[in-house]
Copies of this chain bind each other. A is one copy, B any other.
Amino acid sequence: MDHVDGILKQWNRERPDLDVGPMGLIGRISRIYGYLMREMSETFAKHGLNRASFDVLATLRRSGPPYALSPGDLLAATMVTSGTMTNRIDQLEKAGLVARAHNPDDRRSMRISLTQKGREVIDAAVTDHVATQARLTAMLSEEERKALDGMLGRYLSRIEGEG
């Protein structure tokens, strides 16, 4: 019994014509997402970051040396619009965590790279972040987590497959 069960019962009473099976699944995903994000945001804040800045720094960090990507690359990794990415990079540049440089091969393109400070911040933040995520999934047994993860992976790959 969770919060979503109550919602489905209300709909069943008010609109018995509707099949609320999919609504239950999607409602649970939304609700879980909300809780997870709220908790993870606190970890980001401890490092002076928010989800937006964390995502950009983390994308640069995990891309490996030399920790540099174009705005377009970052865009492809993060499900946001180009204007949003420009703004994110602006903020990170102001904070001294990334540097902007022109791409010598293509003057339209930029090269966003982690600064030394950016590298330090994201490495510490990721370590903390992983610990937070471990805590947020600790109420699942290893077995449960893997089973759930497997099903979500199949679902996600089918969603992405449709494009």
| A interface residues (Cβ-Cβ under 8 A, vs B) | 1-5, 7, 10-11, 13-15, 18-26, 28-37, 40, 61-64, 79, 123, 126-127, 130, 133-134, 136-137, 139-140, 144-149, 151-160, 162
Contact = CB atoms under 8 A, between A and B. Distances in A.
A48 B34 CA distance: 25
B64 A13 contact: yes
Nearest first, the 4 A-B pairs at minimum CB distance are A22-B133, A10-B62, A139-B158, A28-B152
Contact of A152 (B11, B29, B37): B29
A25 B137 contact: yes
A136 B22 CA distance: 8
A149 B3 contact: no
Chain A contact residues: helix, strand, loop or mixed: helix
Contacts of A157: 1-2
A136 B21 CA distance: 12
B21 A145 contact: yes
Contacts of A145: 21-22, 25
B35 A130 contact: no
Given A137-B26, A145-B25, A162-B139, A64 B14 contact: yes
Given A11-B62, A28-B149, A33-B29, A19 B156 contact: no
A160 B3 contact: yes
Given A25-B152, A31-B79, 15 more contacts: A1-B157, A3-B160, A14-B64, A18-B126, A21-B137, A22-B136, A23-B130, A25-B149, A26-B36, A28-B152, A28-B155, A35-B159, A140-B155, A140-B158, A148-B155
